[in-house]
Amino acid sequence: MVLAVFFPSLMGVGIIASGAVLVSDALRRLFPNRGRRRRHRVAVGAYGVVALAAAAAGQDVQRSGLLDRVPRRRAAYALLAVSAAGTATLIAAACAAAYADPLGLFYRSPWMIGIGTGFGAALGVLALLLAVLSALGRRLPAPMARLVATTSLGRLQIPPEAVPTIERTRRGSEP
């Protein structure tokens, strides 16, 4: 009797885990990978060392453009906007269904209204912001450009291959 419950639930956990791996792989393709993050950290670290040395010598070093993020592709913003709007709709619908189900555990529970409204509104605002970013492309107004440059809405910049980095110098592949 115990095995009749154990094995199907174990299979369900396996299916959920493999679905999570598939979603994780899809997200890794959309967002910067570890190598890009590492190269960005090296560039930021090098700038920090140079800026500190210049400050100690009484000089000022201009802030590098590599420290800011740049806008992603329009298609990425559009895909993220559609997925955020879809998730908002699904969460709101699921919470409304749980609230209205007379046989359910959450029948007429105010928690379902609060969760559905909160998550739906937050994801709806995110979807709207992503749709606007997709529509505007690289012609962003100053507040939105600052938001993209300082948050994960933007893509990390890495130095071009022509600029030697610490990693390339250590490997002996400096041009």
Of 67, 88, 122, the one marking the end of a domain is 67
Say if 4 falls within a structural domain: no
Question: What is the overall mean pLDDT for the chain?
Answer: 82
Short-list 19, 17, 30, CA closest to 75: 30
Is residue 152 domain-shared with residue 76, that is, in the same domain?
Answer: yes
Q: Are residues 79 and 108 in the same domain?
A: yes
Report how far residue 124's alpha carbon sits from residue 112's, in angstroms, rounded to the nearest whole number: 17
Domain region containing 63: 36-67
Pair 135, 50 in one domain:
no
Task: Provide the pLDDT for residue 7.
Answer: 61
Min mean pLDDT across 4-13, 70-79, 105-114 is at 4-13
pLDDT band for position 81 (50/70/90)? Answer: very high
Is residue 103 one of the residues assigned to a domain? Answer: yes
- What is the rounded average pLDDT of the residues 22-46? 76
Residue 90 has pLDDT above 90, yes or no: yes
pLDDT beyond 70 at 51: yes
Q: Tell whether 93 and 133 lie within a shared domain.
A: yes
Answer yes or no: do 58 and 74 share one domain.
no
54 and 100 in a single domain? The answer is no
Better-scored residue on pLDDT, 43 or 33: 43
SS3 70: strand
Query: Has residue 170 been placed in a domain?
Result: no
144 and 108 share a domain?
yes
Q: 88 and 43, same structural domain?
A: no
Q: Indicate yes or no: pTM above 0.75.
A: no
Question: Based on the domain organization, do 138 and 105 belong to the same domain?
Answer: yes
pLDDT of residue 93: 94
Tell me, yes or no, whether 109 lies in a domain: yes
Sign of the torsion formed by the C-alpha atoms of 43, 49, 50 and 55: positive
Q: Does 95 fall in a domain?
A: yes
Q: For residue 152, what are its two tokens?
A: 């994960």
Q: What is the DSSP string of 108-159?
A: T-HHHHHHHHHHHHHHHHHHHHHHHHHHHTT---HHHHHHHHHSTTSBPP--
Residues 49 and 121 in one domain: no
pLDDT per residue over 128-167, tens digit each?
Answer: 999 999 999 889 999 999 999 888 898 887 666 655 555 5
Give the domain-ending residue among 44, 67, 90.
67
Q: Is the pLDDT of residue 86 over 80?
A: yes
Q: Is residue 4's pLDDT more than 60?
A: no
Looking at 55-59, 102-106, 111-115, 170-174, which range is the least confident one?
Answer: 170-174
How confident is the model over 94-103, as a mean pLDDT? 92
33-40 mean pLDDT? 71
